[in-house]
Structures are given as C-alpha cells and as structure tokens.
Structure 1
Amino acid sequence: MKWRRRNERRYQSPAAGAVVRRPVPLVQPWEGRQVKTPDTTKAVSSATRQGAQIITPGGLPAKLNTVTAEVLARLLNYERLTSLDAVDEASTTRLSAVTFYLAEKYGWPIEAVDKAAGCRDGRVAWVAEYFLGPEIVARAMADGAGDWCAKVRAARRARRAHAAQARREAERANAARKARRHHPGQQGLFEGGAA
C-alpha cells in the first residue's frame, strides 16, 4: 500500500470525512445579564473602586522551630533576605519556596526585588531579595507578632544546640550508604592496569 498525503489526514480512514459537523452557536457569557455600574455618589475611595485591596498581615505558623517560622521572624525583623543569606542564617537552600509557602498558606504579602551580586568567578549574578513592607511589619507587631518572634528565636536556638549530633548522624548514615553501594569487583576510575 502506498502512503500518500490527502488533506493532511495521513492516518485517518476514508470514512473519517463522512462525519457530519454542525456549527454550534456561541453564546457570550454576558448576554442576558445586567452589568452593575459603579455608584459614584457614595463616598468610596477611588483606590477601592479601582480594585485596590487593603493589605493586612498574614497568619503565624503554629510550629516555632521550623525554617518557615524563622524566615518569617527574620522578615518581621525588617531583614532583607537573599538565598545566600538563608543558607548561612536559616539553614535552608529553598528560600523562594518558603516565601511562596508563607504567601500562599499564611497570606503574607512578601515582596521581592532583583539584586546584582558579584561572584567569585568574576560573573555578576542576579538574585532575589525578599522583604516585608514596613507598614505590614508595623501592623503585625501591633497585633502581637513580637512575642511570637521571640518564641521562634528561642525554639530555633534550642534546635541548633543539637547540630553537632545531627552532623554525626548524617556522617554515619552516609558511611553506611557508601558501604552498601560498593560492588566487590568494581574498581575506581584510575585504579587497575588499563590506561
């Protein structure tokens, strides 16, 4: 059988063209509905009429000894965090995921700006710098977030006291894993007589 192109329907059966297609009338979603016009006689601010919303502080995480709680406590302390800062200070490499989680689950309006950073290898890299607006921090502190931040700092300090033990456990786990993976007949890349 010879393959040929017929109306760009290479693999369709000859009966495929016999399907009757009929047009479907499209109905506009707004047909038959009345559009509400804004009432300009009421004393409503123009910002509210144009869709601006009042920004309020979000909720506070219940667990105090987590990276999420520490990042929020640092942001509530007027700190501006980059991912490099978070590695050293909050022990996380996933600052963007934490800020997204704080925004989505707890409702914090975390802002981000791009910032140039000079690298050791001579490049200029752009990183995101995360922060909370001063009005948000002020409202959160007025609502009692200062006490929560103090509890978070204490909980994280207590958790860091176990850092040496965690490092020893990680070394043991890595050593056990390495011992399990070694195949007795397998040699290293530069071992053996083949060169």
Structure 2
Amino acid sequence: MKSPVTARDALPLLGYAALAGVLLAPLGHYRGTRAEVDRAKVEEDSFPLSTYPMFSADRRGRLYLPHVVAFTAAGERRIPHYRHYGAGGLNQVRKQIARAVRAGQAASVAQQYADSLAVAGERELVRVEVVRARFVFDRYFAGRTAPSSEVVHAECAVGGTAVRCRVTRKSTAVIDPNQEPL
C-alpha cells in the first residue's frame, strides 16, 4: 500500500517542479511568428537550448575565413603560426586579421607577417598572402581540406614590401591537416 503525500514531501516536489519549469522556459522562444522567434534568438540566450546565432545560424555548409598563407620557393602552402602577428592567442589574432581585412588593411597584415618571418629566419618561406578562403564543410570533413576558393587581398615577399591586390582563384592546393604551424 502506498503512503499518502505528506507536507514533508511537498518541498522536494515543489523544487522538482521549479527545476522543470526553468529547464523548459527556453521553449517559449519558439512561440510566435518566424520573425519574432528569430529576433528572440538574437536578443537573449535561451539556456539550456542556446539559440545564439553563433550556435544556431544556418551556415549553409560553408565558412568564409580570412587568414594568412605562406609559400615556399617550390610553391608549397604553409600556414604560419599566429604569433607572427600577435601574442594574444589564436582566436584574438584571428579576429584581428578578419577586422583588418574588412577594413581594407590586409597589406599591413601581410607586411607584419613577412617581417616577422624574416626576423625569425624562416628561410624556406618566401612569400605570404592574406586571403579570405571559402571552405565547404562536407568536403573539408571528408579530408579535402583545401579551400574551395579564395580571394587574395594582399601579398608580400619575405623581406619585401606588401601590396594590396584582389585576385580570386579556385584552390587546388592540398594542405596537410597534420602540419604543425610554423
């Protein structure tokens, strides 16, 4: 025979009900029209079902990434280490490079990388380019890690002077995913 619910049992039951309410509250973001739902996703997080665009935006299977590529005399692509541009960590440097490319200052990024490579004595690297590459997720995660296309915003010979440019190319290069940054 079951014992009846007592006053002593009420406090834990109220606690469980409150916890369930907190966990289910984010579902309220999905009420209303599509525009209202999208606006609510951006204006406030819906923890534990995070709907910030960083996590929920449809990227349509592709990503555009501004970054720096270095080349050997034989034309082999290498990704130089981020410390050649800044010491704040990979994500901070990545954001600084992206901001510089958007602001039309890609030549200064290329110059700084080239100067740093020259000082560091990276003799096998002869040229750097600041590019905005397009990566397709399905191809990338299938092992074809080269960008599907890229726009070169600036280039600089190591020890030379950077120049702005705007060259679009389809990439056929193969980048070794196991390569350590320089």
Normalising by the smaller structure, the TM-score range is under 0.3
TM-score w.r.t. length of structure 1? 0.20
**Structure having the higher Rg:** 1
Which is richer in strand? 2
TM-score w.r.t. length of structure 2? 0.21
